[in-house]
Structure 1
């Protein structure tokens, strides 16, 4: 129970900071904000990310300071609602709003209801109690990952209906508990299914505060501390990449980050496309590894360039792009009268975890006037460790743009994706629409801090605070250790599989990231020649094993085909809580599940 947490518990203190802000947001006697110019705010607030992580006590202070300088959008929204509600009449001319005053609506949906009926925060603690119990179970190796049911069965078990009249608070609490009961524990140390595994509790605390602040990210006036925080963190990430200056933005996922790169690359080469459209420019061609993420052809489709103009480049035995084949395909397109304009260089492919060679690809881009984008959505976290940075990212500073998702290897809560540009001003030039009801140029502060006019969306979720708070807690040193640990655990898994060559067949014996791709070999197929038929049989067994592990609820590992390879497992270790005992469990559980298949 949250209400039973010790008073000095840091989780409780963060929750109480958030609740105090919510309470003040509904108090008409409090100010909406304490406004400071950006230059003054930078002096008042410590945005820095240190080499060593700060203390829990400092993190709690950071949360309180953040809300101190945030706009109380709850009160502002309330007053706006009260001031603009126009009378509505039914057929008999009666005022429809009369029997349901705004205060009564407010009582049903805010803390005012809870405070009136319970005199404390009991009910909101009950809500959070469900979440904290879920988190505790997610870190308990003796608990199941999930209780799996087919969609038809789930529809019978769970009440998804939205009724005519609102349900009671007690029912909502039950709804929360039921929702988590049927959810996958993605923070569990035996969850190896996706690129985003694990649950960082400091990042979670940051998301709680973000929800309490409930603001948008398009102007400084409504998100002053968050706008400056975003500016600071993104600038730090650009320096880590190797950029001097440039620009960045947080995006709703890596696919959108890659879309921004494509749009800015096209605008840079043919700025007239913004006003005149695709008919005004020649046929463009983009290039990417055959193992790259599907978001690149998706971006070309969304941008009107077309998936037929996305050319897959073959890979070597390690899954990395072949520069010679890239150049050959560029020459082929030029001979056909097309314009090669964009190369997507992947730093950590989705399935294999391969890294494309940036420097030789950059030379080809320079030679033919193409934009070089590095999609490090997956592998970007390894930029934080000196041990792997030079091996995997040599030449990344040469790229025109870089995608980097902190919600993957860095373990920020979903979603948290960034895209970075070497050239400043491209985001504005490509996307600016000058909506004068939001981006007035005669505001009382420096409007260059407003970010809304350089993105393709309008409203933008606050994804920065959970990242900043988490990074503050670990520091640069902590993140380097985290990345090294993830790689060590993956290498340990490879060692255990190599020690059992009859039981496991590694698809890529020397992984470049934390992706370990393999077949499990049941008893009846051990010792047999590794023919095409043998591989196809393993490809049939793999999804059967996945189904069994889901029903058991003990383990989750993803699988897929790749090229001419039948289905195989792709194990991901991106949860820093994973230890050798979890890897040993994985190996043993696979044998328990599949030995007799």
Structure 2
């Protein structure tokens, strides 16, 4: 690209490709994925980089191939993971973020983004009920949980920031048995080991309650552990359950435990006054994970860790040997880097700022409430259909169900095969999990552009694929007599 004319022409072509892809993603008659097995896709893509490089036309071809075979996560049949949908103002924010290409360590190099992030953190903290707090955008919900553990370790074990865990102490983390696997990874990362993660049984609705926490705590102490942090979940990955935050907060305070609330999945529900009761007791917690890249449909990654108090993050994370980048001046109090484990950090504030600015609090509340209504609609659909079975009472935005199979057909194996068949045809992408009753199709409602018509279409495709697969599984076996 030697001149502006060429630049503009190439950009125009790229924007046309993106626009076409957006329109295809919103068309329910297009496949959610043009599926190929890895070996087949490798042959199609011909992934190689030549010593002499490539011209811009070849680069455009690479973009075309990428878009052709990418999963359309904004598609109405994409119901697979805890992210999805298409948020246009946030998308614009992503483009400008890449264009300006800065890092979030100092106000000097990211003045607007720094002020935006600080304003966003203050706004989000306003939902917690805390008198004061700080926050930071991190690289995913797993990292927010890990950093919360790190902060708790440093606060509860004096001197551990500089000297590590005190000799003879066996720290322990109390979590729901349905907590996210990042709790195990976090324990590994901060040096206490995964065996120090003690999983607390949940009730029939997938909720961790106060009595179960008390029993797990007592056993941990009897086994020689020193619990220092208690983690509740506001929206479990499999069932969307909200732990009894208020009960657990009281227990944490009584026993001098750091209380972290993992709202990575359901945290955005707090924007809606209709669902703020799910967070009762959050005002007593010490930290809160909230992922706008899930229910707020912000492009990945956009994850916030909010911490009660004004200085905990900076005091427990910053080091003091970085004078080449952090200088004492009138703006140093605005630098966000000292409170982050990262040095270079991507700007994630602009896309969230533009989206929230566009929809406002009321707009986002309506979008989230619409999703809860759709979850209720899907639940009723399953309960009223003879060939479908609800595997778990719907708690929020996860609808767990399966296709009923005739006697003699393994229901788990059949539903797993059915799920992959839907992906191979591009008819739908939906995931599964393992619950006490067996393998469950896990329908996740987080795309606010979905309608009841979209979900009717999904169930029709699901059932049609199930009936076709059932015929294959029920074919009589022809026995051939051997000579």
**Shorter-normalised TM range:** over 0.9
The answer on whether the counterparts of 2:391 and 2:437 sit within 8 Å (CA) in structure 1 is no
Aligned partners of 2:366 and 2:220: how far apart in 1?
Answer: 45
**Structure 1 residues 258-304: Cα deviation after superposition (integer angstroms, max 9, x where no partner):** 01100000111113111111244611111111111000111001111
Shift in CA distance, 306/119, structure 1 to aligned 2, threshold 3 Å? closer
Equivalent residue number for residue 204 of structure 2: 317
Q: Does 2:266 correspond to 1:379?
A: yes
Q: Does 2:226 correspond to 1:339?
A: yes
Equivalent residue number for residue 421 of structure 1: 307
Equivalent residue number for residue 402 of structure 2: 519
**Structure 1 residues 383-410: Cα deviation after superposition (integer angstroms, max 9, x where no partner):** 01111111x1111111100000000011
Aligned partners of 2:461 and 2:182: how far apart in 1?
Answer: 34
Over 6 Å off, 4+ runs = none
Give 1:478 shift: 0.2
**Structure 1 residues 325-371: Cα deviation after superposition (integer angstroms, max 9, x where no partner):** 21112112222332111111000000100000011111111121111
The answer on whether the counterparts of 1:197 and 1:573 sit within 8 Å (CA) in structure 2 is no
Aligned partners of 1:403 and 1:250: how far apart in 2?
Answer: 10
**Structure 1 residues 521-553: Cα deviation after superposition (integer angstroms, max 9, x where no partner):** 24xx2xx6xxxx87xx21111111112111110
TM-score (norm 2): 0.95
Aligned partners of 2:42 and 2:437: how far apart in 1?
Answer: 36
TM-score (norm 1): 0.77
The answer on whether the counterparts of 1:346 and 1:375 sit within 8 Å (CA) in structure 2 is yes
Write out aligned runs for 1:44-63 (5 A): none
Equivalent residue number for residue 278 of structure 1: 165
Give 1:455 shift: 1.1
Q: Does 2:381 correspond to 1:496?
A: yes
Q: Does 2:465 correspond to 1:580?
A: no
Larger deviation: 224-233 or 324-333?
324-333
Aligned partners of 1:335 and 1:548: how far apart in 2?
Answer: 50
Report how many aligned residue pairs link the two structures.
468
Equivalent residue number for residue 212 of structure 1: 99
Q: Does 2:472 correspond to 1:472?
A: no
The answer on whether the counterparts of 1:273 and 1:281 sit within 8 Å (CA) in structure 2 is no
Q: Does 2:406 correspond to 1:406?
A: no
The answer on whether the counterparts of 1:314 and 1:325 sit within 8 Å (CA) in structure 2 is yes
Q: Does 2:26 correspond to 1:139?
A: yes
Give 1:119 shift: 5.4
Equivalent residue number for residue 478 of structure 2: none
The answer on whether the counterparts of 1:190 and 1:555 sit within 8 Å (CA) in structure 2 is yes
* Structure 1 SS opposite 2:220: helix
Please, which runs of 5 or more residues in structure 1 have no aligned partner?
1-107
Q: Does 2:412 correspond to 1:539?
A: yes
Give 1:480 shift: 0.8
Larger deviation: 125-134 or 257-266?
125-134
* Structure 2 SS opposite 1:241: coil
* Structure 2 SS opposite 1:575: coil
Please, which runs of 5 or more residues in structure 2 have no aligned partner?
471-483
Aligned partners of 1:149 and 1:155: how far apart in 2?
Answer: 9
